[in-house]
Amino acid sequence: MLPVRRDPDRMPTKRRTDQLRDCAVTLPLDILWLPKAAMRPLGPDPSHSDCVLVVGVSRPKLAALFLSVMLLSLFLTFHILYDSAVYSIQAATAISENKLAILTNHIPNPPAINQPVLFPNRIHFPKTSRRLPQCLIIGVRKCGTRALLEMLYLHPRIQKAAGEVHFFDRDENYLKGLEWYRKKMPHSFRGQITIEKSPSYFVTPEVPERVRAMNASIKLLLIVREPVTRAISDYTQLRSHAATAALPPQQTLSSTSPLSKSFEELAIMPNGTVNEAYRPLAISQYHVHMHRWLEVFSREQLLVVNGDQLIDDP
């Protein structure tokens, strides 16, 4: 005798309600990850399915906290791996440059390189620190100071400050103190030389004494080129910056504006004499500014680089 198959739609209402209550199962997890195929009806025939599987989040705040912890864990893992990779590169450079004697002289118990410390700075190595510069590129503007700095930075024992700090030539920065200036310097190993470049140092009267107050034995780099060529290059840059600057509405450059005049009109007075007060020409008077620096520092501390030769033969 074959079993009789009952239609669930014809079941008594009370019995059907009890069966649906039996389907309500409390899951132990707040979030249940299931593939799309798992959402099909439980029975072989959709018409005979009395239970519907519902997947959702019963505690949104707890779920958000769980997701935040996962993202933070991934971030910290990547952070540590990145710091370790950078440290390995820096440590390898230090070993090859500064610790070759350990391999050749067979020093017992050579000092071990510690692992990097992650906090409080993003990357901080136990054997590095921010040091005040031992060398300054003091000028001259439009003579190749940036090119000189980048060429020096190719050497593994050179570290450079990011950008022009303008510590000694701007009173608002100088009043912040040497600790503020030191924090602007990059991390460097012991034995590396930190260089900072600000071309306006050369022409600012207060700078030599301020530099000596920080370090009387500091090394100075000065790059120069043919004075007239430098002045014309300076004039061209000033005019270019003025042309690209935004002017107020309904305002144009007048014919009497210095920006509309040629270099000859600005550099030569109507009586035929040289306008030494014109800034591009004033900067090109190297002897005026050089005399001020040599009153404070010895000639051995100042290296003058020919910018024209540097272009032809770096």
By annotation, the residues acting in catalysis are: 142
Q: Is 261 annotated as a binding residue?
A: no
Question: For the chain, where are the E strands, in sequence order?
Answer: 128-130, 135-139, 158-160, 187-189, 193-197, 219-224, 302-306
Q: Is 255 annotated as a binding residue?
A: no
Both tokens of residue 191?
């034995």
Euclidean distance between CA atoms 138 and 148, whole angstroms: 12
Which residue pairs, CB below 8 angstroms and at least 24 apart, start in 240-245? Answer: none
Q: Is 143 annotated as a binding residue?
A: yes
Residue found by looking up tokens 């003025």 in the block: 242
Structural Rg of the chain based on CA atoms? 36
Nearest to 183 by CA among 231, 120, 141: 120
Nearest to 126 by CA among 87, 162, 155: 87
Nearest to 132 by CA among 86, 94, 177: 177
Amino acid at 198: S
Q: Is 225 annotated as a binding residue?
A: yes
- CA separation (Å) from 131 to 4, 141, 241? 91, 25, 35
Nearest to 173 by CA among 163, 158, 188: 163
Nearest to 125 by CA among 168, 90, 161, 77: 90
Q: Is 144 annotated as a binding residue?
A: yes
Q: Is 146 annotated as a binding residue?
A: yes
Both tokens of residue 247?
């002017």
Residues annotated in the binding site for 3'-phosphoadenylyl sulfate, as ranges? 142-146, 225, 233
Residues annotated in the binding site, as ranges? 142-146, 225, 233
